[in-house]
Structure 1
Amino acid sequence: MVMLVDCSQCRTPLQLPHGAKSIRCAVCHAITLIGEPLNAPPTPPPPYFSPPATYSNNYNYYAPPPAPIPAPTQYNHAPPSQPPSAHGHKKAVIIGISYKNSKNELKGCINDAKCMKFMLVNRFRFPEASILMLTEEETDRYKIPTKHNIRMAMSWLVQGCQPGDSLVFHYSGHGSQQRNYTGDEIDGYDETLCPLDFETQGMIVDDEINATIVRPLPRGVKLHAIIDSCHSGTMLDLPFLCRMERTGRYSWEDHRPRSGAWKGTNGGEVISFSGCDDDQTSADTDALSKVTSTGAMTYAFIQAIERGQGNTYGSILSAMRSTIRRTDDEIGGSVVTTLLTMLVTGGSAGIGMTQEPQLTANEPFDVYTKPFSL
């Protein structure tokens, strides 16, 4: 059971380790002495509505629960470095992790983060003050992409959002999977992000990502996620996946848990582009840009926008897939197949499977008529 205590100086809620007699605040660094053990009862789960009898379309229907009042946690406030507040209803978190000087090192992820920021600022008019960057190059220790800092950045992204806001979450780094034991995953695996310190602090599971930046979104708020990592197809645990054929035909797969667990929003809209399917790997290579190392998916996404192929979600997804397939054909043979199927979590490469960028959403829509906008 999670126990919380307010900081004695700044009153920030802190998560108390079991049996601890004192705790240091991450915000003001004051030490709070713990008196009698805290025995707060656990918060009961919110009730779920029964599915209406008139619902059809062969989807299992689960209505969203009433929006619960979020329990105080150490992540319900901005990072201690005071990241800037949003301006013009646009706000973004951009994460690029290179895992430098380790066996997991990647070459293109920080470049991905810089390119994404440039595009958001110059093409989509995101104020620089509204973008929180987490990379190993940052001098502020609270902007290093550790597990703790990524968690706080995700909470900051959605905190205080209002109707009309446009949010972006971009991640370029390692992704992985772990066994799911709740029955919520069709393939039996949860997808995970790998922070810089994942080997000691653990990974961030898709259930937590969904609970932090998907479920709280109120009506009128829009979130786009761009996830450039291995096993990223359903990284946000969104209920619907657009299964697109090479001909351009598509259908929406229902990924809602049969347990009835709610994975949608509180009325907002969430759409995610990801580098590959859950059982695939994403390339970290210079094969696409031919100039510098980048993530294949981030490069293809930006190219689609810059070449005027970003009018609809369907045109972007088709262009991204075409860019990767075209490079495969041009470079040819086993070399590009090897590049585009690198198992970046192990540093090895596989043969015979190229990555296919994916599109997921909280609700199905017509991908060829819905305009894309940030």
Structure 2
Amino acid sequence: MATRREVRCQCGRRMWVQPDVRTVQCSTCHTVTQLYSLMDIARGANRIIHGFQQLLRQHQPQHQYHEQQQQMMAQPPPRLLEPLPSPFGKKRAVLCGLNYKGKSYSLKGCISDAKSMRSFLVQQMGFPIDSILMLTDHRSVRAYKGTDGGAAFCFSACDDDETSGYTPVFTGKNTGAMTYSFIKAVKTAGPAPTYGHLLNLMCSAIREAQSRLAFNGDYASSDASAEPLLTSSDEFDLYATKFVL
């Protein structure tokens, strides 16, 4: 995959685009920026050099022109600057939204949660849109993006024997409590939070919502034990490891 390059908008927002992209619109101020590839710059430089040579040929004696041309040919060609490496490296985001429509255990809002996470990653965390793979069960998806392995961390809404709840308390519509509390925790946790800090913020937000629902008589006591969980592919220090996206 070609290395993306950084583009800075006039409003100060940084964006990362593919080398073949010619225009990009800022998601913050909506300014459209015209981009030029390194090849375009090289072609423009060649045209300037060619025009300069034509001008010299018209105003200099023939022998002086050939001497200068030989000196220019003897110099090594200028090196093109290499594109900046992507700040995300080889990271990818895979978002899954499965409502299990038509099943006895169908859910509500999972696809909306996946879309909310995608918007959060793109708008708040600066992820390129093409580095995100979204899998949903409302249409057939054939795209495939591989992975090079590495550590995996998973925030889940509840344990395997529990049921994840959806509540309108947060946004006024059926929204996954875990998804909403995760996004809110990342936004409000401050710089470089640990995984343990985020998990505590998520649990606090969900408990607060459960208390409000219980006060209104809309919350089942059987769901009281359902809390967000964090699992990982390798054992690590929960309160020492910084959360990084």
Is 1:328 matched with 2:207? no
1:242-280 CA deviation, whole Å, 9 max, x = no partner? xxxxxxxxxxxxxxxxxxxxxxxxxx3222211112332
- How far is the alpha carbon of 1:281 from its aligned partner? 1.6
Q: Is the 8 A contact 1:107 1:285 kept in 2?
A: no
Question: 1:365 aligned to 2:236?
Answer: yes
TM-score scaled by length of structure 1: 0.38
Match of 1:90, SS state, is: coil
SS at match of 1:95: strand
- Give the Å deviation of 1:102: 4.7
CA deviation vs aligned residue, 1:269-303 (integer Å, no higher than 9, x gap): 2222111123322113323x232222111111111
Query: What is the alpha-carbon distance in structure 2 between the residues aligned to residue 323 and residue 271 of structure 1?
Result: 21
Q: d(CA) in 1 for partners of 2:159 and 2:100?
A: 23
For the structure 1 residues 352 and 294, does the alpha-carbon distance in structure 2 shift closer, same or farther, using more than 3 Å as the test? closer
- Percent identity, aligned pairs only? 39
Structure with greater proportional strand content:
1
2:162 counterpart of 1:291: no
Moved over 4 A (4+): none
How many angstroms does 1:318 deviate by?
A: 0.2
User: Which stretch shows the higher mean deviation, 110-119 or 292-301?
Assistant: 292-301
Is contact 1:94-1:131 (8 Å) kept?
Answer: yes
Structure-2 separation of matches of 1:102 and 1:366:
39
The structure whose Rg is larger is: 2
Counterpart residue type for residue 358 of structure 1: L
Read off the aligned partner of 1:324 and give its amino acid letter.
I
Deviation at 1:334, TM superposition (A): 8.0
Q: Relative to structure 1, is the Cα distance of residues 352 and 103 closer, same or farther in structure 2, using a 3 angstrom cutoff? A: closer
1:170-189 equivalent positions in 2, closer than 5 A: none
How far, CA to CA, are the matches of 2:117 and 2:100 in structure 1?
A: 19
How well do the aligned residues superpose, as a CA RMSD in angstroms? 2.6
Figure out how many residues of one structure are paired with residues of the other and give that number. 157
Cα separation, 2, equivalents of 1:112 and 1:335: 25
Unaligned 5+ runs, structure 2: 1-87
Between the aligned partners of 1:297 and 1:157, the Cα distance in structure 2 is 27
Kindly indicate whether the alpha-carbon contact (under 8 Å) linking 2:99 and 2:108 is maintained by their aligned counterparts in 1: yes
The 1:352–1:371 alpha-carbon spacing in structure 2 relative to 1, beyond 3 Å, is: closer
Question: Cα deviation per residue 1:342-369 (whole Å; 9 max; x = unaligned)?
Answer: xxxxxxxx72633111112233332222
Distance 1:109 1:129, change over 3 A: same
Higher fraction of helix: 2
Counterpart of 1:108, as a letter, is G
Pairing of 1:14-33 with structure 2 (within 5 A): none
Partner of 2:78: none
TM-score when normalising by structure 2: 0.56
User: What 5-or-longer segments of structure 1 have no aligned partner?
Assistant: 1-86, 144-148, 162-216, 218-267, 339-349
Deviation readout 1:167-210 (Å, 9 max, x if unpaired): xxxxxxxxxxxxxxxxxxxxxxxxxxxxxxxxxxxxxxxxxxxx
Change in CA separation of 1:305 and 1:293 when aligned onto 2, cut-off 3 Å: same
1:317 matched residue in structure 2: 199
How far apart in 2 are the matches of 1:280 and 1:101?
A: 21
- In the alignment, the residues of structure 2 paired with residue 352 and residue 301 of structure 1 have an alpha-carbon distance, to the nearest angstrom, of 19
| Aligned residue type for 1:314 | G
1:93–1:157 contact (8 Å) kept in structure 2: no
